[in-house]
Structure 1
Amino acid sequence: MTNPSFEFSRAVTRRPSASIINGLRAEDIGTPDLDQMLADHAHYVATLKETGAEVIELPPLEAYPDAVFVEDTALCLPQGAVMMRPGAPSRMGEVAEMEPALRAVYEDIRQISGPGHIEGGDILVTGREVLVGRSDRTDAAGVAELAGILADWGHSLREVFTPPGVLHFKTDCSLLDADTILSTKRLEASGCFEGYNVLHVADGEEAAANSIRFNQYVICPAGFPRTAEMLSNAGYDVVQINNSECSKLDGGMSCLSLRF
């Protein structure tokens, strides 16, 4: 039996657009280089395809600078997809742009209708539950509306809290297998992962926490050698992908795909 938390047959990605230089960011650490981002994105897509998965590659959306970060628009589960309601006003329109691609592969599509907000970057699906982190982009009403939808599909949702100053819950954690989570020490200290095996990213390498387990690979941002070595020593097949440009927009490995 496959494990829907990390074994996938499909992914959806979207090419970065030239408008990416206007993307949202918590602090300005430089303007993204589009050519470098396109090269990194191509490496990311190729790595997903190497696992045998089908990658649905969507065209750039000039009107939405952050549209490369497709994960925030939807939650994809075996039973169906839930269209999110982003907390950033400039990103609301991305959801309608994503919906046709998901309708082509899913029969059951649900909507977060509001008034609450929720983004996919705050949702971690493990082997036993769906963890949702409250953040600046995900509020109590959004979490409650998602909980009602997931109950219909037999999933339990547990609300947790993202540390102050951290954009999304998955900025600081990722799933390595059904029961193992890669986390920053500050996030695990909140107690949200009790009962799981937790591996910590190396001190000073907190940004490595936003990785993804996709079939046989753990796909990590490059430039965090101690964390990559720790994961390799723990038996994971690590692929490192440059993330210098996405990181300028608070983006990481999970943000760049919808996986199902």
Structure 2
Amino acid sequence: MPARDPAFPYRFTHAITRAPATSIIRGLRAVDTGNPDLATLRAHHDAYIATLRETGATVVELGPLEDFPDSVFVEDTALCLPEGAVVMRPGAPSRLGEAAEMAPHLKALYTEVRTVDEGHIEGGDILVTGREILVGRSARTDATGIASLARLVADWGHRLREVHTPPGVLHFKTDCSLLDAETILSTDRLAGSGCFAGYRVIPVAEGEEAAANTIRFNDLVLMPEGFPHTRDAILTAGYTVREIGNSECAKLDGGMSCLSLRFSPR
């Protein structure tokens, strides 16, 4: 097996996004704070894509899927690794078909695409750090799905560690994100579990928990607008930050990582 670049979890040549459908107003949400404004959401989405492209990455923009209101959140459909992609099995019944829709696009970019066929697992519960893959058990990801994923990536040389998503939190990465191979941005409620022992943790500011879901994409950290204390902490740690509007996706529990699949296929 060829040596793996230790920066592979945050240095990417490609990303896949999907345009929001007009049906997004029927999207899933934990708390109803009103429907997203489609025009504003599209403007934010366009800014997000432009920022990914600014780093030199190729961004594949897929068309909207009206039958799947949550389909803009493509991260939940797959796990993309250097060696291949794994199609997920979402835990929300209304989202199962999204993974099947994503599979042919992954096959166009990867020589090997595998599929989770037992239990349930969503990409929002998976944090790839380079040394390991952390998978958070949640309402959308169960032990059977985690075990299935572990088997599928074992011969690619990846080790999984099951952790737990805090109660009342949708996905593991709702509360954390990778800034580099040794550094994780996290809420106190998640880091307090001890799941990041051995990593440097930058804490999200109190009251700014929604800022925890960022993405490191090449030399930029993309984070949602409106969280100045957490932004300043990331800047102080030496990262280059780009703030992106996320007010409308947030109404559907969506964040920066949810909106793309990021990878460098071999």
1:167 and 2:170 are equivalent in the alignment:
yes
> Which of 39, 46, 64 is residue 42 of structure 1 equivalent to?
46
The equivalent residue for 2:111 is 107
Q: Percent same amino acid at aligned positions? A: 68
- Aligned pairs for 1:109-124 within 5 A: 109-114=113-118, 116-124=119-127
The equivalent residue for 1:183 is 186
> Which of 96, 99, 114 is residue 95 of structure 1 equivalent to?
99
> Which of 204, 216, 219 is residue 216 of structure 1 equivalent to?
219
The equivalent residue for 1:14 is 18
> Secondary structure of the equivalent of 1:251?
coil
Provide structure 1 residue ranges, at least 5 long, that are not aligned to the other structure: none
The equivalent residue for 2:80 is 76
Cα-Cα RMSD: 0.7
1:64 and 2:68 are equivalent in the alignment:
yes
The equivalent residue for 1:158 is 161
Separation (CA, whole Å) in 1 of partners of 2:40 and 2:156: 40
Separation (CA, whole Å) in 2 of partners of 1:84 and 1:196: 27
1:244 and 2:247 are equivalent in the alignment:
yes
> Secondary structure of the equivalent of 1:36?
helix
1:96 Cα deviation after fit: 1.0
Separation (CA, whole Å) in 1 of partners of 2:155 and 2:137: 22
Amino acid of the structure 1 residue aligned with 2:117:
S
1:100 Cα deviation after fit: 1.1
Separation (CA, whole Å) in 2 of partners of 1:109 and 1:233: 39
> Secondary structure of the equivalent of 2:251?
helix
Separation (CA, whole Å) in 2 of partners of 1:162 and 1:193: 13
1:127 Cα deviation after fit: 2.0
Separation (CA, whole Å) in 1 of partners of 2:110 and 2:9: 17
Are the counterparts in 1 of residues 224 and 245 from structure 2 also a CA contact under 8 Å?
yes
> Which of 21, 27, 30 is residue 23 of structure 1 equivalent to?
27
1:226 and 2:235 are equivalent in the alignment:
no
State the Cα deviation string for residues 47-69 of structure 1 (Å, max 9, x = none): 00000000000000101000000
Amino acid of the structure 2 residue aligned with 1:111:
T
State the Cα deviation string for residues 202-230 of structure 1 (Å, max 9, x = none): 00000000000000000000000110011
1:147 and 2:155 are equivalent in the alignment:
no
1:2 Cα deviation after fit: 6.1
1:253 and 2:256 are equivalent in the alignment:
yes
Q: Which of structure 1's runs of 4+ aligned residues deviate more than 4 A?
A: none
1:101 Cα deviation after fit: 0.8
The equivalent residue for 1:201 is 204
> Which of 53, 57, 66 is residue 53 of structure 1 equivalent to?
57
User: Normalising by the residue count of structure 1, what TM-score does the alignment of the two structures yield?
Assistant: 0.99
1:3 Cα deviation after fit: 1.4
